[in-house]
Amino acid sequence: MPPEPEQVAEQVFTALADPTRRRLLAELAAHGPATATDLADRLPISRQAIAKHLGLLAEAGLVTAEPGERRRVRFRLRSAPMRTAQQFLAALARDWDDRLDALTAHLEDS
């Protein structure tokens, strides 16, 4: 059974709360799949810290690990969880817009 959209959104927001994880996602988005070692060569972060962050990003579904050459694991960005989180935010925004419009109408009628 697939996770509920709200649960996916929560995992995405938790993962995105950390600036290091946002930076790793930006690197993967800009340069494509990479290993933890590749990312450590480009960023001022240890390979071990990067591996830990990539594990958390994988748990949130934002990256997938795929086998590479010489048993090196490459991480690839996944956009589906991000789209689910965007849809969750859009639904919240619609709810707030409706409430604010109703409040505005009420205040204008008073």
pLDDT tens-digit map of 29-67: 999 999 999 999 999 999 999 999 999 999 999 999 998
What's the pLDDT score for residue 103? Answer: 79
- Token pair, residue 10, equals 């929560």
Which tokens belong to 97?
């817009």
Q: Are 27 and 46 in contact (CB under 8 A)?
A: no
- The DSSP result for 15-76, as a single string, is HHTSHHHHHHHHHHHHH--B-HHHHHHHSSS-HHHHHHHHHHHHHTTSEEEEE-GGGPEEEE
Delimit the domains of the chain by residue range.
Answer: 5-109
pTM (predicted TM-score): 0.78
Task: Please give the mean pLDDT across all residues of the chain.
Answer: 90
* More reliable by pLDDT, 80 or 103: 80
- CATH top-level class of 5-109: mainly alpha
Helix axes 80-109, 5-16, angle to 10 degrees: 100
Instruction: Say how many C-beta atoms besides its own lie within 10 A of residue 56's C-beta.
Output: 17
The reported pLDDT for the residue numbered 77 is 95
Q: Summarize the confidence of residues 16-20 as an average pLDDT.
A: 96
Whether residue 1 is predicted with pLDDT greater than 80 in this model: the reply is no
For residue 2, what pLDDT is reported?
Answer: 67
